[in-house]
Structure 1
Amino acid sequence: MRWTLKPKPQATQVVLMKESLGVDDIVATLLLQRGIDSYQAAKTFFRPGFNELHDPFLMMDMDKAVTRIEHAIKHGENIMVYGDYDVDGTTSVALMSSYLKTRTPNITTYIPDRYDEGYGISYKGIDFADDNEFSLIIALDCGIKAIDKVAYAKEKGIDFIICDHHRPGDRIPDAVAVLDPKREDCKYPFKELCGCGVGFKLITAIASKKGQSVEDLVEYLDLVATAIGADIVPIVDENRALAYMGLQVINTNPRPGMKAIIAEVKKEKLTITDVVFIIAPRINAAGRMKHGNHAVTLLTETDFNLAAKYAMDIDQFNTDRRETDKRITEEALVQIEETKEQDRFTTVVYDESWHKGVIGIVASRLIETYYRPTLVFTKSGDKLAASARSVSGFDVYNALEACSEYIEQFGGHKYAAGLTLLPENYEAFKAKFESVVKATIAPKLLTRELKIDLDIELSQINDKLLRIIRQFAPFGPGNMSPIFMTQNLRDTGWGKCVGADDKHLRVTATQTFNDKIVCIGFGLGDKIDLIKDKKNFSAAYSIDENHWNGNVSLQLKLKDIKA
């Protein structure tokens, strides 16, 4: 790993923050590094709430969207709520359909089949709307590039409202309203909402016309927080407030479907990390292994007993997903080794039998071994489909754009994207993608970076510091859990490898012999030699708690160690 120590704020700023908040140097510095530079900013940071949410009507086309939906409700039109099959899409559909059903019974939901229809708005979905007399489609977490699909719907007399957060192309679809804060002509003050976040802004705007405030829509925030965590959007500004309040709903009064998932995994108080690694994979597993409809059904169910049954089904989908992505990852690693492509700037692998639903996960797994922009392809009908994942600091979306001559369709974000191409273009695309990345990526980006907030002494770590750090949550991009480093550490002599195959490292570290603390390094077992014979070493870590036999003690969760 490449350790990078974040710049320290000016000493005068640290002193002012210490005096203003009554905190120590470490906390003052951590806050300043996050752009928190006053008492009021700190108050907002530690207790985010409704005041941090922006006026939804600041978003381009919001007034048009609300007017069209109000007209549809008033005249009894049939409305289809359409969304992608991932967590952001299915939570968006659950949110929008649940809210609109409080206003009109003429609502149906539609999630495209990942294998039959692919990502985004489909002709099949539009035909379904036409056959069943739906005159308005509200598309969530997709649609910003659906120029032809929206035109096709218009020919059939079907209007579209698009709620998306992906980057637009050169043209905007000719819809009644296109809500996307990433539109260049949109002046909305926060650009990093997820799809469900855009959907939430729309229902707050609709509700405001009925005299309701955002406080009346709290029950929907468990869905929004789940989408924020799963879609890995920055947890700053409006997202921080939505995630903070949404976690409170998840932990105090979640919807029956969410409660059923939590009951299935037997976890009491969930953090955003739990949402990402416990709730989100289960919701995602429905669209990956079966159909995204199962996730929407679970998330909109009002009867807990029924929800519990659906949650059991989804838990099984998730088990199947884990087994499948493990097998495909192993096959992909063998393919890389057999083709001797370990020294490339990119990883591009393909097998027509690989399950389309897990190739994105496999791409992320491959980056753990070969840290470079990665694409995993499989067969999808008469085309090849791929999921792309990138390394920190490199924009894979831009790289794909540079290869567009070989691509049929693509979309996504800086670090994750999806694409399709014709089989005959695979080798040419693979070569072009390699050359584009090789020419544009900074060599240092091919070494995993560990960003460290502060270099501190072991003696500065205590229970109070951990309590305050926990109040920095929810953590995520833009507000990661603090990582510290300490130098000149030694093992007290009890250091050893633990776990299956001695994969993990357990050390009792000391710096001055007056202080010692237990450290656990998951996956660091191969670094045992660095701490043997009481050699000096440096550690990068987060501060955590160890619960054992009813006792609670501080421990360090090692990220890396160096001689």
Structure 2
Amino acid sequence: MRWTLKPKPDATKLADLKTSLQVDDVIATLLLQRGIETYEDAKRFFRPSLSDLHDPFLMKDMDKAVERIEKAIANKENILVYGDYDVDGTTAVALMSSYLKTIHPLVYTYIPNRYDEGYGVSYKGIDFALENDFSLIIALDCGIKAIEKVDYAKKLGIDFIICDHHRPSAELPNAIAVLDPKREDCNYPYKELCGCGVGFKLIQALALKEGKTAEDLTKYLDLVATAIGADIVPITGENRTLAYFGLEVINTNPRPGIKAILNQIEKSELTITDVVFIIAPRINAAGRMEHGNFAVALLTEEDATLAAKQALGINTYNLDRRETDKLITQEALKQIEEQKEQERLTTVVYNENWHKGVIGIVASRLTETYYRPTLVFTKSGDKLAASARSVRDFDIYNALENCSEYIEQFGGHKYAAGLTLKEENYEAFKQAFEDEVFKTIDRNLLIPEIKIDTQINLEDITPKFYRVLKQFAPFGPENMTPVFMTENLKDTGFGKCVGEDKTHLRITVTQPQSNSFVAIGFGMGEKVAVISEKKSFKAVYSIDENEWQGNVSLQLKLRDVETQQIS
């Protein structure tokens, strides 16, 4: 692991912030690292308000989108709400359709079949709209590259409104409105919304025209928070505000579908991490293993009894997904070993029988194992389809763009993308991708990195300090859980490997003139030699609470430990 200590903030800014907020060096440092420089910044950060959300009409084409929907309502047109089959797409479809149904009865939903139609807007979906007399399609979390398909729809007399957050190409689809804050010509102040977030801005704009405010839309924020967590977008600016209030809804008054999922687990208060690892996989499993329609049905169901039955079905899909991705991951790891490709800077594997619904998860697991830009391919009709995952700070989207001569189509983000290509181009693409990464990647990026916010001593860790840290939540990209480093630590002599297979490390750390703390390192059992015999060591960790038999205490969650070099 590479330990990288973040630079110390400007001394003047640090002094000013400490004075204005009456906080210590550590808290002021953490805030400055997150771009919080003034009292007003801190107030917005610690006390989010829905009134802080930007005017949705600042987004390019928002006025056109609202005008077209108002026209559809006035003319009693059928509206088709179309979205991708992942969490961001299905939550966006649930959000948009359930809101529109409160003002217009002729609203229906469409999720493409992952296996039959593939990602994004499909000709089959447009044909469905034509056959069923839909004159307006609102596409969510997809469509930004659907130039030919939108043209096809236009010739059939079907209009498109696109709500997307993926990077556009130089040419935009000829839709009535293209809502995407990443458009070059869009001056919307916040660029990092997820697809469901862009959908929320559209219903916010529609609500504004009816004299309503964002507060009137609070009940939809459980969907937005779920999408923000699942799509791993930055938890900054508007996303932080939407996630904050969305978590509040999830924990106090979630919609029946989400409540039915939560009833399957034992958890009192969910964090954004819980959303990512508990709610999102179940919603995703529908589109991975069967059809995204099941997820939309669950998320829009208003009857608690029916929602409970649907959640049981979704959970079955999730259990099947776990078994499938475990098996495919094992096969992929074996393939890599047999091909002796450890010397390569990329991981590219292919098996025509692998389940298309889980190759993205497998790509993530392979990236964790080998820590290289990774592509997992399977057969999809007469083409090959792949999911791509990257390592931190390497833009896999750009790498794919530079190999586009071999690719039929692709789309995505800096760290995750999807693509299709002809089978005969597979070997050429595989080499081109390796060559591109070889040319462009900083070799340090191939070593996993722990970014450390600041160095502290154990005496800095107090209940009051932790109470302030908790207010930094919700955590996520660009507002990660604070990570600290402490030197000159010793175990009290009772450190040991724990767990059924003894793979975890549990120690009690001390520092001269300080309290001791229990520290747990999951999967760090092999590090026991570093802390044995009361040797001096340094550690990187975050702080959390441990509850045991009704007692709550602070503990350190270890990320890594290293022997302390005696100078």
Q: TM-score range by the shorter chain?
A: over 0.9
Following superposition of structure 1 onto structure 2, how do residues 56-135 of structure 1 map, counting pairs within 5 Å?
Answer: 56-135=56-135
- Which residue pairs with 1:32 in the alignment? 32
> How far off is 1:14 after superposition?
2.4
Alpha-carbon distance in structure 1 between the residues aligned to 2:185 and 2:25: 43
- Which residue pairs with 1:377 in the alignment? 377
Amino acid at match of 1:75: N
2:425 aligned with 1:448, yes or no? no
> How far off is 1:517 after superposition?
0.9
- Which residue pairs with 1:287 in the alignment? 287
2:550 aligned with 1:550, yes or no? yes
- Which residue pairs with 1:535 in the alignment? 535
- Which residue pairs with 1:359 in the alignment? 359
- Which residue pairs with 1:334 in the alignment? 334
- CA deviation vs aligned residue, 1:288-331 (integer Å, no higher than 9, x gap): 01100000000000001110111111111111111111111111
2:399 aligned with 1:402, yes or no? no
Amino acid at match of 1:356: K
Amino acid at match of 1:35: G
Q: Is the 8 A contact 1:374 1:389 kept in 2?
A: yes
- Which residue pairs with 2:302 in the alignment? 302
Aligned length: 563
Alpha-carbon distance in structure 2 between the residues aligned to 1:381 and 1:265: 38
Amino acid at match of 1:185: D
Q: Is the 8 A contact 1:94 1:296 kept in 2?
A: yes
Q: Is the 8 A contact 2:350 2:376 kept in 1?
A: yes
- Which residue pairs with 2:173 in the alignment? 173
TM-score, length-normalised on structure 1? Answer: 0.99
- Which residue pairs with 1:424 in the alignment? 424
| Farther-moved stretch of structure 1 (528-537 vs 465-474) | 528-537
> How far off is 1:463 after superposition?
1.2
Following superposition of structure 1 onto structure 2, how do residues 404-553 of structure 1 map, counting pairs within 5 Å?
Answer: 404-512=404-512, 514-553=514-553
- Paired residue secondary structure (2:178): strand
Alpha-carbon distance in structure 1 between the residues aligned to 2:534 and 2:421: 56
- Paired residue secondary structure (2:60): coil
Alpha-carbon distance in structure 2 between the residues aligned to 1:28 and 1:258: 37
Following superposition of structure 1 onto structure 2, how do residues 158-307 of structure 1 map, counting pairs within 5 Å?
Answer: 158-307=158-307
- CA deviation vs aligned residue, 1:328-361 (integer Å, no higher than 9, x gap): 1111111100100011100000111111001000
Q: Is the 8 A contact 1:52 1:237 kept in 2?
A: no
Amino acid at match of 2:213: S
2:161 aligned with 1:144, yes or no? no
Amino acid at match of 1:27: I
Amino acid at match of 1:151: D
Amino acid at match of 2:442: A
Amino acid at match of 2:445: L
- Paired residue secondary structure (2:360): helix
Amino acid at match of 2:433: F
Amino acid at match of 2:541: Y
> How far off is 1:460 after superposition?
1.2
> How far off is 1:514 after superposition?
4.3
- CA deviation vs aligned residue, 1:92-149 (integer Å, no higher than 9, x gap): 0000000010111111100000000000000000000000000000000000000010
| Farther-moved stretch of structure 1 (131-140 vs 531-540) | 531-540
- Paired residue secondary structure (1:175): coil
> How far off is 1:552 after superposition?
1.2
- Paired residue secondary structure (2:324): helix
Amino acid at match of 1:138: I
Alpha-carbon distance in structure 2 between the residues aligned to 1:134 and 1:281: 32
Q: Is the 8 A contact 1:146 1:173 kept in 2?
A: yes
> How far off is 1:12 after superposition?
3.3
> How far off is 1:211 after superposition?
1.3
- CA deviation vs aligned residue, 1:451-471 (integer Å, no higher than 9, x gap): 000111111111111111000
| Structure-2 change in CA distance of 1:514 and 1:470 (3 Å) | closer
Q: Is the 8 A contact 1:497 1:504 kept in 2?
A: yes
Q: Is the 8 A contact 2:166 2:412 kept in 1?
A: yes
Q: Is the 8 A contact 1:367 1:373 kept in 2?
A: yes
Q: Which blocks of at least 5 consecutive residues in structure 1 are unaligned?
A: none
- Paired residue secondary structure (1:265): coil
Alpha-carbon distance in structure 2 between the residues aligned to 1:155 and 1:17: 59
> How far off is 1:252 after superposition?
1.1
Amino acid at match of 2:412: G
| Farther-moved stretch of structure 1 (151-160 vs 513-522) | 513-522
- Paired residue secondary structure (2:4): strand
Alpha-carbon distance in structure 2 between the residues aligned to 1:440 and 1:514: 47
Amino acid at match of 1:255: R
Q: Is the 8 A contact 1:521 1:557 kept in 2?
A: yes
Alpha-carbon distance in structure 1 between the residues aligned to 2:297 and 2:361: 24
Q: Which blocks of at least 5 consecutive residues in structure 2 are unaligned?
A: none
| Farther-moved stretch of structure 1 (138-147 vs 255-264) | 255-264
Amino acid at match of 1:83: G
Q: Is the 8 A contact 1:503 1:526 kept in 2?
A: yes
Alpha-carbon distance in structure 1 between the residues aligned to 2:447 and 2:522: 19
Q: Is the 8 A contact 1:92 1:141 kept in 2?
A: yes
Q: Is the 8 A contact 2:51 2:214 kept in 1?
A: no
- CA deviation vs aligned residue, 1:224-244 (integer Å, no higher than 9, x gap): 111111101111111111111
Alpha-carbon distance in structure 1 between the residues aligned to 2:47 and 2:139: 33
- Which residue pairs with 1:315 in the alignment? 315
> How far off is 1:215 after superposition?
1.3
Q: Is the 8 A contact 2:458 2:514 kept in 1?
A: no
- Paired residue secondary structure (1:137): strand
